[in-house]
Amino acid sequence: MSFGYQVLGFGSGGAVGPYEIEYLVVAGGGAGGSTQCSSASSGGAGAGGYLTNFGGTAIELTNGETYTIVVGAGGVGATTGSASSTPGELSSLVGTGISTVTAAGGGQGDSYTGPDVGGGDGGSGGGGIGTGANGGGAGNTPATSPVAQGQDGGDHVGPGQNAGGGGGHTGAGSNDGPAGQAAAGGDGTSNSITGSALDYAGGGGSGAGYYGPDPGGSGGDGGGGNGGNHGANGSVGTANLGGGGGGGGGGPPGSVCTSGGNGGAGIVILRIPTSGYTGNVTGNETPTTDGSYTVVKWHGDGTYIA
């Protein structure tokens, strides 16, 4: 009698065959809007798209396959002039045998530097300086299902020359207030994939209009930048949280120009059973452990060979 034996691949941890992992993929946040030496403020930026299966259905990696990680940079706030701020860049996890996971960059905040085009669409939308076509950008663009990767930006609906806040993963950007208050950015979402809870993907607040009250709108939980006060630039979104940048605040007409804050870069995190972790990685931060799992974080592009 003869016996057949199947030879299976082993990772450095001793795993046999495919193994399941969890991920968090966050794109770069958009940059806040800027002003053109105007008393008007500008919109807060949308957070980078947020996608995770942590606590849900794991995905299966195959031994020997290479999985490519892309981490999106944050958008850049326009210096004063006719230019607009830029959206954030996408982050992704790609490889054979899995569905590609792509989070879209956050939409830029609407700027008072040229034609009003509204807040940018993206993972979460940027805040607008009007309503309708001039209002907040659409979040969850392109759409992800069953869980949206982000929310819409807010509109300018109150008095004065104000703008809406940028959307976050959990909360839409706020509209400006009835007494001319600046708008807050939408909140992000807490995730414990590393073993410790941390908020990601908060939207940026709008700047304060010069003839309305200070301060600028607060950034959303998860790295959203605060909007600028009167005559001040917006704050940057937090790096590696995908936060949207804050919008520039309005200053004395014709004398003070302000810029929106840059968006925060994104991040990709994989939570891998230590029994299967191969250590064949590039571009990653130093791995950590959480119980029986190895946690690998990328702040820039890289690879993992299963």
Query: Shortest CA distance to 171 belongs to which of 181, 157, 183?
Result: 183
The amino acid at 221: D
Whole-angstrom distance, CA of residue 56 vs CA of residue 111: 39
Cα 164 to Cα 74, 86, 120, 158, 159: the distances in Å are 20, 17, 12, 10, 12
Q: Along the chain (306 residues), what's the average pLDDT of each consecutive run of 10 residues?
A: 30 63 98 90 97 96 96 91 85 95 97 79 96 93 95 94 96 95 98 98 96 96 98 97 96 87 98 96 96 98 98
Whole-angstrom distance, CA of residue 250 vs CA of residue 230: 5
Helix ranges (H only) for the chain are none
Q: What is the predicted pLDDT for the residue at 113?
A: 66
Whole-angstrom distance, CA of residue 189 vs CA of residue 204: 14
| Sequence-ordered list of residues with C-beta below 8 angstroms from that of 2, at least 6 positions apart, any chain | none
Other Cβ atoms less than 10 A from the Cβ of 134: the count is 17
Residue 104 C-alpha from the chain's centroid: 8
Whole-angstrom distance, CA of residue 216 vs CA of residue 228: 5
Give a three-class secondary structure readout of 96-157: CCCCCEEECCCCCCCCCCCCCCCCCCCCCCCCCCCCHHHCCCCCCCCCCCCCCCCCCCCCCC
Whole-angstrom distance, CA of residue 260 vs CA of residue 181: 18
Q: What is the predicted pLDDT for the residue at 12?
A: 45
Q: What is the predicted pLDDT for the residue at 82?
A: 60
Q: What is the predicted pLDDT for the residue at 1?
A: 30
